[in-house]
Amino acid sequence: MEMSGLNLSSSVLMTIGTVMVIYFVLIACFGGIFSRFSKDVNDFFFSGQRFAWWLGAASMIATGIGSYSYLKYSQQGLETGLSSAMTYTNDWFIVPFFMFGWLPIIYFARIRSIPEYFARRFNNTARYIALLIIMAYMFFYIGYNLFTIGIALEGLLGIPMLYTVPVATLILGGYVTFGGQTAVIFTDLAQGIMLYIAGGIAIGAGIVALGGFGEWWSWLPVSHRLPFVHLFNDYKFNTAGLYWGEALAGSIAFTFMNQGFIMRYLALKSVNEGRKAAVFNVLFTLPFSAIIVGAVGWIAKSLVVKQAAMGGVLEGINPIHIANHFHTFIVVAWECLHHNAIVFGFVIAALTAALMSTVDTLINACAAIGIYDIYKPLLKPKASDRHYLIAARWVSALTALIGLCLVFFFVNLKGSLMSIHYKGIMVIIPSIVTTIFLGAFWRRFNAKAACVSMVVGSVFTVLTIFWPTFIDPLAWLVLGKDMLSQKYIYMRALFGMSITAFVGITVTWLTAADPMEKSEGLTICTLGIAKQKYKGDKNVNEAVGKKVRRLVVELDENFAENIVSLSESVMSRMKANVGDIVYVEDSRWWLGGLRSVHTHAGAVHNLGDDKIVMSKSTYKNGMFLDNRLITIEKIF
């Protein structure tokens, strides 16, 4: 693998390095500010289910884009054009399952981790099988992200991965370990903005170098303008394979079982906010991110074509030669920015930010699983909350360390970045994705079936690495053509899902059903019960009311905890009844719910329409500030 993408002078390297170090330090400090908002283990992982949708959605930008995204999609953009955006624009088909199925299930059941869902829905055996698969998925992503940033830094700075990756891991481990989920969400918000700005700079510079948007489009060959690639001719990137492997298996994995994304949704104040975040993410964030990570590759193709047509040189820019396609982003950005080390350093810092924001989420997610699925149930079942918070920080540090060790495993793997990524993911996810799906949407699906299908599905999927001909019949069925290529990446996921589903359905039919009460609130057909359990009351108030703003807090020492009192008029505007769950927040919308609390509406008062009465402990739980106005809304 060629490592050296640019031949930079030591002074330029020094400038780029300085910009990056400043960036790292600023981000670590920024994350540190929010560590004080993690007052217990629930806050550490889920930020107390209190944030606004836009904060979750914005932090998902940075979570969804890894350092590998820039390298991988710029390369794909150069080779196949705008079709590199396919993986970001084919997710809508599974949105109904998520918005109305999985999201309310995990939110109302207060699921802390996917293995915990397996324990409650099935049994502990299913939990630990799921845990193994999910941890493999998470650690794969952490190691892969660290590995790709190592490649980028090695190519750019000439410093071996051995030195750069541990430093990056140390900084990441630092703010996740001490900050927790609140720090992760806020640093991701900052890094998401940074990432878009930096990507925009690189794209803008490329468009200017080409002579404008019209020039870029007109020099792009038709094959590179299209949103789809050939149906099946290239096993590494084809429309049919991407539909089955990426749009179905990959998208379900990312939205249903990626603990990092799940925790983003669980940090939001309500299911309604989760739906807003989900729609915004799939409809706007993903397509826009596809442009940010792939556009430099599309520009590179136009530049190369125009350059060849113009006799090898374009006015105002050095000739572009991309010897190693992994370095497309770095080479094109460097040339189009006219070797400006400070701006380029900022762009590279954003690339590094992409790594940090993906890995910090994954580290925090692994720690959540470590605490809720291993440490608490198996090692220390009845410790104090403070004990779990400290343990969570140790687990975060340990996770970062394991991720670092995995980098050395990736160094020894052969093949392109794209193939390493999908080859791994398409083997790990099929069985668990299918089991989650069957568990959530089919109440009859039982614990025996879940355990057997996960094991058999995983084993058969792994076997196809050695005997890919197992996949041939299925590929023939869905492609409508006898491929027999014996080289499958995405079709492996379809095979794994099919085997898992077949085994799961067969075992379910052949074995007795689990007691019905076991699955109450954990399947789509028992969502009504889930809502009642969440509220702690059989009366669920679905009427849509309005938010009431600019209320003044009146503290009452004798008032019960977890109840607020409002005037009749405020209750009427919210369409709330006594006992309904209400969400109280600082009126400054831009805090996104950082200072807020869920509580219940109590008996009405006659102190005036602008007053909200609560106890001191409720006030403290919301982390409210004196002399600040309050906004309130009914949840249900």
What does the binding site for other proteins look like in residue numbers (CB under 8 A)?
Answer: 82, 89-90, 92-97, 99-101, 104, 217-222, 225-233, 239-240, 243, 247-248, 272, 275, 279, 282-283, 302, 305-306, 309, 441, 477-481, 524-525, 527-528, 542-544, 636
CB of 17 to other proteins, least distance (A): 37
The rounded distance, in Å, linking the Cα atoms of 430 and 253 is 8
**Residue type at position 131:** L
CB of 601 to other proteins, least distance (A): 17
Of 283 and 398, nearer to other proteins (C-beta) is: 283
Q: 104 burial class (0-12, 13-18, 19+ CB within 10 angstroms)?
A: buried
Of 159 and 226, nearer to other proteins (C-beta) is: 226
Pairing mode, strands 630-634 and 581-586: antiparallel
Helix ranges (H only) for 158-233 are 161-210, 213-219, 222-225
CB 108 within 8 A of CB 271: yes
Instruction: Report how far apart, in Å, the C-alpha atoms of 203 and of each of 138, 195, 223, 533 are.
Output: 31, 12, 21, 50
Three-state DSSP state, 84? helix
* Secondary structure of 178-193 in HEC code, one letter for each residue: HHHHHHHHHHHHHHHH
CB of 23 to other proteins, least distance (A): 35
Q: What are phi and psi of 466, to 5 degrees?
A: -90, -30
Of 91 and 585, nearer to other proteins (C-beta) is: 91
CB of 510 to other proteins, least distance (A): 16
Of 147 and 243, nearer to other proteins (C-beta) is: 243
Of 512 and 626, nearer to other proteins (C-beta) is: 512
Per-residue burial over 115-126, b if 16 or more Cβ lie within 10 Å, else e, is bbbbbbbbbebb
CB of 345 to other proteins, least distance (A): 32
CB of 502 to other proteins, least distance (A): 12
Of 481 and 616, nearer to other proteins (C-beta) is: 481
Of 499 and 623, nearer to other proteins (C-beta) is: 499
Query: Residue 565's beta-bridge partner residues?
Result: 613
CB of 589 to other proteins, least distance (A): 20
**Could you say which DSSP state residue 567 is in?**
B
The rounded distance, in Å, linking the Cα atoms of 417 and 330 is 15
Of 240 and 450, nearer to other proteins (C-beta) is: 240
CB 35 within 8 A of CB 255: no
CB of 83 to other proteins, least distance (A): 9
Angle between helices 328-336 and 161-210 (to 10 degrees): 50
The rounded distance, in Å, linking the Cα atoms of 447 and 438 is 11
Q: How far is CA 393 from the centre of its chain?
A: 21
**Residue type at position 510:** L
Q: How far is CA 478 from the centre of its chain?
A: 30
CB 150 within 8 A of CB 407: yes
CB of 227 to other proteins, least distance (A): 5
Of 231 and 323, nearer to other proteins (C-beta) is: 231
CB of 361 to other proteins, least distance (A): 25
Of 21 and 279, nearer to other proteins (C-beta) is: 279
The rounded distance, in Å, linking the Cα atoms of 500 and 435 is 7
Of 106 and 149, nearer to other proteins (C-beta) is: 106
CB of 112 to other proteins, least distance (A): 22
Of 80 and 399, nearer to other proteins (C-beta) is: 80
At 314, list the tokens: 């374009």
Query: Residue 563's beta-bridge partner residues?
Result: 600
Of 341 and 530, nearer to other proteins (C-beta) is: 530
Smallest CA-to-CA distance from 178 within 167, 188, 170 is with 170
At 512, list the tokens: 């007795």
CB of 468 to other proteins, least distance (A): 20
The rounded distance, in Å, linking the Cα atoms of 593 and 321 is 49
Q: 218 burial class (0-12, 13-18, 19+ CB within 10 angstroms)?
A: middle
CB of 523 to other proteins, least distance (A): 8
CB of 313 to other proteins, least distance (A): 17
CB of 239 to other proteins, least distance (A): 4
CB 588 within 8 A of CB 630: no
Of 4 and 233, nearer to other proteins (C-beta) is: 233
Per-residue burial over 426-459, b if 16 or more Cβ lie within 10 Å, else e, is bbbbbbbbbbbbbbbebbebbbbbbbbbbbbbbe
For 326-395, the DSSP string reads: GGHHHHHHHHHTTT-HHHHHHHHHHHHHHHHHHHHHHHHHHHHHIIIIIIIIII-TT--HHHHHHHHHHH
Of 37 and 256, nearer to other proteins (C-beta) is: 256
